[in-house]
Amino acid sequence: MSDELADELARAAWRKATKSGSNGGNCIEVAPLPGGRVGLRDTERPDLPAYIVNGSVWAAFIDGAKKGEFDF
C-alpha cells in the first residue's frame, strides 16, 4: 500500500450502519475517499487492508442491495 493511500485511509471518516448494534456491532465500515473512491473494511479486523472501489461500483452495489438482488 502506498504511503498516500495509507494516509487517506487513516484520515478517512469511517462509518457503519446505524442498525449494526443488532449483530454485536460486527459489520462493514465504509468511508468516502478522494477521487470518488470508497473504502470498505471489516469492523472485526480494521488492521487488515481496506478494499477500495470506484464510486460507481459502490453506487451499483447499493442500488442492487436496495432492489433485493442479494437477498437469499
**Tens place of pLDDT for every residue, the chain, 72 residues?**
788 998 999 999 999 877 665 556 678 899 999 999 999 999 888 888 999 999 999 999 999 999 999 998
Other C-beta atoms closer than 10 Å to the C-beta of 20 total: 15
Question: CB of 70 within 8 A of CB of 53?
Answer: no
For residue 43, the model assigns a pLDDT of 86
C-alpha cell at position 61:
452495489
pTM given for the model:
0.80
For residue 40, the model assigns a pLDDT of 95
Other C-beta atoms closer than 10 Å to the C-beta of 28 total: 13
Helix (H) or strand (E) holding 56: helix 55-66
Question: CB of 40 within 8 A of CB of 46?
Answer: no
Question: CB of 39 within 8 A of CB of 9?
Answer: yes
